[in-house]
A and B are shown apart, each in its own frame.
Chain A
Amino acid sequence: MEVLRAMRRKAGTYVVLGPFVIVLAFPFYWALTTAFKKDRDLYNAQSNPYVYNDGSGHAHWDFWNYMTFHHVSFLFKHTEYPTWLENTVIVGVAVVAITLVLALPAGYALARLSGRWGQSAGVGIFVVYLVPPTLLFLPLSRLVAELGLRDSLWSLILVYPSFTVPFATWLLMGFFKTIPQELEDAALVDGCSRLRALRRIVFPVSLPGILTVVIFAFSLCVNEFIYAFTFTSSTGERTLSAGVPNELIRGDVFFWQSLMAAVLIPSIPLALLYNAFLDRFIKGFTGGAFR
């Protein structure tokens, strides 16, 4: 009886969640199948677009005979895709590090030390995040040129914190407020300095929030396009978001299979990362909502 009730509960959950899963996972499935499709299959209007087909548009159960690695091979051998991946990771890691260095003490200070105006200041800092890059890329372009950083990854490492830090500060501010003040007071009474209390007590407890900032800041760096496109122009200095649309969309010809492979490859580790830290990620976002 209990077993039946449990099964019914689970079935209900799956019925509700199932359509969402299918809709959200479908783009990944589409990208995966398209990446290995032959041109004759992809461009044939008679073909079933969800499976692999022969040249006449007939689907086959032995799909491996109708796939090709040519387009993925093209991506790695005839474009600078590995370099773009590397550049994206370098920029992402550097920006995350800078963001943490700036946002952690800023968020703590606004949460604990600034009194009533701390909340307003936090909101004000967050509003900076809402200014769209399409307004800023032209004046920033001049600044980047003046600093001699044009066509260099350093331009992105310098500029990206302008939107990751405000968001991270606001998020961490909310999260720090959920940590009981008594924990830190106890540490201070025991002789810890403020910095040591921060390092030994607050940060370990704030790990979900910090992880949220890390993942979110990294995602923002990977997705950002307009600064990456404007400040870097050499193929070897591009990140994924600038390199892929520039070199896999040539005039009016889209290299669809290579494009799908290009977007799928970085998505998988990011998806795994989100999945591995999902509980902490949710805690990080919602921690600040309940004070």
Chain B
Amino acid sequence: MAERPGLTREQLVKRGAAGAFAISMFGGLADKAHSFAGPLRFKDRQLKGDLKILQWAHFVPDYDTWFDNTYIKNWGEKNDVQVHVDHINNALLPSAAASEVAARNGHDLVQFLFPPSALEKQVVPVNDLVQEVTKKLGKMTDVAYKSTYNPKTKRYFGFPDNYVPDPIQYRKSFWFNAGVAPNTWDNVRKAAATLKKAGHPVGLGMSNELDSNMFLMSLLYCYGGALQTAEGQPNINTKGTIAALKVMKEIYQQGESDEVFAWTAASNNQAFVAGRLSLAVNAISIARTAEDSGNTALSDDTWLRPIPRGDVRALGNEHVMGIYFIWKFAKNIPAAKQYLVDQQLAYRDHFLQSKFYNFPAWTNAVKGGFKAMNKLAAADKHKPLGKYTILTTIAQRYTTNVGYPGFANAAVGDIFNQFLIPQMFAQVAQGKMTAEDAARSMQGQFRTLYAKWRAQGLQ
């Protein structure tokens, strides 16, 4: 029998599958090829080319939507620069930066949420940008200055963009029933057992995560303790540190459970929004999540106030510090510099779109300063009305940098990234060490860390 002309069904299926595979696999090559050809877009312009930015995925998704689709587009069109923004989980920023340093390739601008002091030798100093912005807006906030300036090398290793005040968020009704207000750590200690018995413990973590790190350092300040002196010498072994360790041990033993040693950055958020916790030290992501959940009984009962006062003072860290840096191997340093200056000079929309999360490093970046920000916060419709106005008070009077009273140097960065402070508190709270021994032991560890960075010439 003669063979029928044309393809058999089997051949047709095989060739079709191969073709589909080829198109799906190699169809994208056309797009890649195009990027190697084409007219010069930015001929004779001062700024040209592409600008690549890496920053965290903001907890307010709408902020990133506005940032990517409106702000960046407008800036790029105005300056004739193609801007690409990539967002990643903030916990993954250090490893992303590490891989870019190893590859000597990556983004032009990277935003960290803590001072990148250890990267000083890899980045372009931005003293010129700071001067330019300061000329137009006045001095930056102290928290921004001490988070980005190295007095040893006299360089700004990062450009401060924003900081986030760290209020306590508490359930008014639970504390009313407990009979005290959370305005001092002594009151928190007194109410802890009552609140735990009522099924609404305080939520103060002692875990290797951001919230515990920030809160426990703040607790040190409230009792007169600190990581270092104003001159940048390790100074953790003090009466203030020991007092803070003892207070936290008491709060834990009376008012918390073991879960606080295994918390992640999201744990206190989730426990608070589930209606369990009576108090948490956190940025306003807790209050905003409560509002978005539609649970008005919870959100209306969630109040904000400054950090409680200890024996010495009421002072807390910023929750996060948004700092941009420019790699030395960045492909478009001029555009990166211009971008940073332009963003800071008009910060009002960033403040609004972030739902008052992002406070500008230069207060006058929002025209009218704290007064204007207070007015904007007062217009928020969520109950209790006006609750977000406390943020400007916290920003002005109760917020300092990591490393207070000194600068956020590379050793402080190491202490922060290794979670040495939560571990010290956890050891004492669990009865594994006395407060005195823990402070003494930590001082020894600090000395080693500081010596390491001194040898590298960074402090």
Contact = CB atoms under 8 A, between A and B. Distances in A.
Interface in B18-33: 21, 24-25, 28, 32
Interface in A244-291: 245-247, 249-254
Interface in B72-91: 84, 86-90
A197 interface: no
Contacts of A145: 103-106
Interface stretch (A14-22, A39-47, A209-217): A39-47
A94 interface: yes
B295 A141 contact: no
A40 B21 CA distance: 45
Nearest to A225: B92
A99 B86 CA distance: 31
Interface stretch (A1-9, A104-112, A188-196, A228-236): A228-236
A27 to B, nearest CB: 19
Contact of A235 (B21, B86, B90, B98): B86
B265 A252 contact: yes
Given A93-B25, A138-B102, A252 B87 contact: no
A78 B292 CA distance: 17
A43 B270 contact: yes
Interface residues on B, range: 35 or more
A118 interface: no
Nearest to B21: A93
Given A251-B58, A252-B282, A254-B270, A230 B96 contact: yes
B358 to A, nearest CB: 12
A152 B29 CA distance: 11
Contacts of B294: 38-40, 55
A139 interface: yes
A139 B65 contact: no
Interface stretch (B124-132, B273-281, B333-341): B273-281
Nearest to B292: A39
Contacts of A252: 59, 210-211, 265-266, 268-269, 282-283, 285
A137 interface: yes
B54 interface: yes
A172 interface: no
Interface in B132-186: none
A58 interface: no
Contacts of B56: 250-251
Nearest to B297: A55
B189 interface: no
Contacts of B87: 235, 246-247
Interface centre among B61, B65, B104 (most CB of A within 10 A): B61
A44 B297 CA distance: 11
Interface string B84-119: 101111101001101110111111000000000000
A8 B61 CA distance: 57
A79 to B, nearest CB: 9
Contacts, number: 114
Contacts of A234: 84, 86
B293 interface: yes
Contact of B54 (A40, A97, A141, A233): A233
Nearest to B84: A234
Question: Which of the listed residues B84, B88, B295 has the most CB atoms from chain A within 10 Å of its own CB?
Answer: B88
A249 B89 contact: yes
A45 B274 contact: yes
Interface string A134-154: 000111011011000010110
Contacts of A235: 86-87
Contacts of B88: 229, 233, 246
Contacts of A43: 270, 273-275, 293, 295
A251 B59 contact: yes
B289 interface: yes
Interface in A35-83: 38-40, 43-46, 55, 78
B295 A40 contact: yes
A44 B275 CA distance: 7
Main secondary structure of the interface of A (DSSP, over half): helix
Nearest to A143: B103
A137 B107 CA distance: 18
A158 interface: no
B57 interface: yes
Contacts of B96: 229-230, 233
A46 B297 CA distance: 14
B57 A251 contact: yes
Nearest to B57: A250
B295 A251 contact: no
Given A150-B105, A233-B106, A250 B59 contact: yes
A144 to B, nearest CB: 7
Nearest to B273: A43
Contacts of B276: 45
Contact of A137 (B25, B99, B106, B283): B99
Given A150-B103, A233-B86, A90 B274 contact: no
A221 B106 CA distance: 23
A84 to B, nearest CB: 14
B99 A138 contact: yes
Contacts of B270: 43, 254
A78 B269 contact: no
Contact of B103 (A142, A152, A229, A250): A142
Nearest to B86: A233
A138 B274 CA distance: 40
A230 B54 CA distance: 13
B283 to A, nearest CB: 8
A55 B295 contact: yes
Contacts of B211: 252
Contact of B266 (A39, A152, A230, A254): A254
Contacts of B25: 90, 93-94
Contacts of B103: 141-142, 144-145, 150
22 contacts: A40-B294, A44-B274, A45-B275, A55-B294, A90-B24, A139-B102, A144-B103, A229-B88, A230-B96, A233-B86, A233-B107, A245-B92, A246-B87, A246-B89, A246-B92, A249-B266, A250-B59, A251-B285, A252-B210, A252-B265, A252-B269, A254-B266
Given A43-B295, A90-B25, A142-B103, 15 more contacts: A39-B295, A44-B274, A44-B275, A45-B274, A90-B24, A93-B25, A145-B103, A150-B103, A150-B106, A152-B32, A229-B92, A246-B57, A247-B57, A249-B57, A252-B283
Q: What 6 A-B pairs are tightest by C-beta distance, nearest first?
A: A145-B103, A145-B105, A251-B59, A39-B293, A252-B265, A141-B103
Interface of A: 38-40, 43-46, 55, 78, 90, 93-94, 97, 137-139, 141-142, 144-145, 150, 152-153, 229-230, 233-235, 245-247, 249-254
